[in-house]
Amino acid sequence: MLKIEKIRKDFSILKRKVHGKPLVYLDNAATTQKPKVVIDAVKDYYENYNANIHRSIHVLGEEATAAYEEAHKKIADFINADFEEVIFTKSTTESLNLLAYSLTADLKPGDEIVISEMEHHSNFVPWQQLALKKKLKLKFIEINKGGTLNEESIKENITKKTKIVSVTHVSNVLGTVNDIKEIGKIAHENNALMIVDAAQSVPHMKIDVKDLDADFLAFSGHKMLGPTGIGVLYGKKELLEEMQPFLYGGEMIKEVTFENTKFNDLPWKFEAGTPNIAQGIGLGIAVDYLNKVGMENIENHEKELVKYAYEKLNKIKEVEIYGPSPEKRSGLIAFNVKNVHAHDTAQILDGEGIAIRAGHHCAMPLASKLGIVASARASFYVYNTKEEIDKLVEGIHKVIKVFK
């Protein structure tokens, strides 16, 4: 059982009032708030040992290098990866683009890439553009009416022609938790690489990359209490060693001659230039915080919240919920109030101090599939409460009243 009130005291922003009312922050799928220890860690770096890493032998440089490398180790341990297999990027988006760039060498016209209909643009557009550029075939795993992936469509689309399968672990719109382990097994049976967009899963549940057997897995720091501007790409060591770097210069260099260049060892081979040092250190502290709270505790807390919210919203006849039942989803709910645009819903809720997301959630093909242009989305995290969900429900009743 989490001590939510104690946890909430670590997040000073939650004391804020919006439009004269206490802030109810339910936009965690977009970004999470930061505990004081993370903010302090970033501040401490800039105030006390700000220096570039892996370059200088002075004290500041050595302290910064040690802290940055320790952050890599913390993240590797967090997902049960080896140190060399964890690359810091700017975001999940950059991690996936890195793969779309670096995995192309052996692809030829007619080869197939498989994604799903529920992908975020960051796991859709890079593969779409790659397919257009190299005359590849991009195939889509269909979704069922209930918002889950169609099992027959998975088996039909992943074939011996498939070279890459890239699927979200948790849909940022539907909340659907996909069976990545099973999809990866089918991919590997067909000698295809398995890539996982884990932006909405790593912050909310215990992830073991060795158990999942994913070849690559990407996620973002800012969605798990860490700073913005820092993301992670996990990759199996043997695959990363074969891959061409995404960017050149700075830390990814081992030796340069007039004739050629030798690249650095992993993971630095993929971290060109001066990295986001402060953000990396901050992410390490965020992982410390999550470990202290306990990922199993966080997952159970969110399951309680999403079940509670789903049941409350499902009783309102004017509300349409998208996606599966609570037991098949993570801690978010996308919905619409019938005959009300999602932006209007969000604006009225904002007037009540309630922060949610409204729009297509960077998943326009999925919105098209659902037959909508936008939806409202409430997403929960470790510091949210059932009382805040009650305020959301009250706010939705106000939306209904305004548009009656």
CA–CA distance, 29 with 236 (Å, rounded to integer): 27
CA–CA distance, 105 with 78 (Å, rounded to integer): 31
304 is catalytic: no
Residue 330 vs residues 68, 288, 390: alpha-carbon distances, Å:
31, 22, 19
User: Minimal CA–CA distance to 361: which of 200, 219, 141?
Assistant: 200
Which tokens is 340 given?
């009300």
Instruction: State the catalytic residue, choosing from 143, 230, 362, 392.
Output: 362
Which tokens is 295 given?
């990922």
Q: Which residues of 362-387 are buried (b: 16+ CB within 10 A; e: fewer)?
A: bbebbbeebeeebbbbbbbbbbbbee
Are 231 and 88 within 8 A, CB to CB?
yes
Within 10 A of 361 (CB to CB), how many other CB atoms are there? 25
CA–CA distance, 399 with 404 (Å, rounded to integer): 9
Beta-strand pair 216-220/231-235: antiparallel
CA–CA distance, 183 with 192 (Å, rounded to integer): 11
CA–CA distance, 124 with 354 (Å, rounded to integer): 30
Question: Counting beta carbons within 10 angstroms of the beta carbon of residue 132, is it exposed (0 to 12), middle (13 to 18) or buried (19 or more)?
Answer: exposed
Which tokens is 402 given?
């305004």
Which tokens is 152 given?
């027959």
Within 10 A of 360 (CB to CB), how many other CB atoms are there? 18
DSSP H helices in 144-219: 151-157, 180-189, 209-212
CA 291 to chain centre: 18
What's the DSSP call for residue 261? E
What residues are annotated to the active site?
A: 362
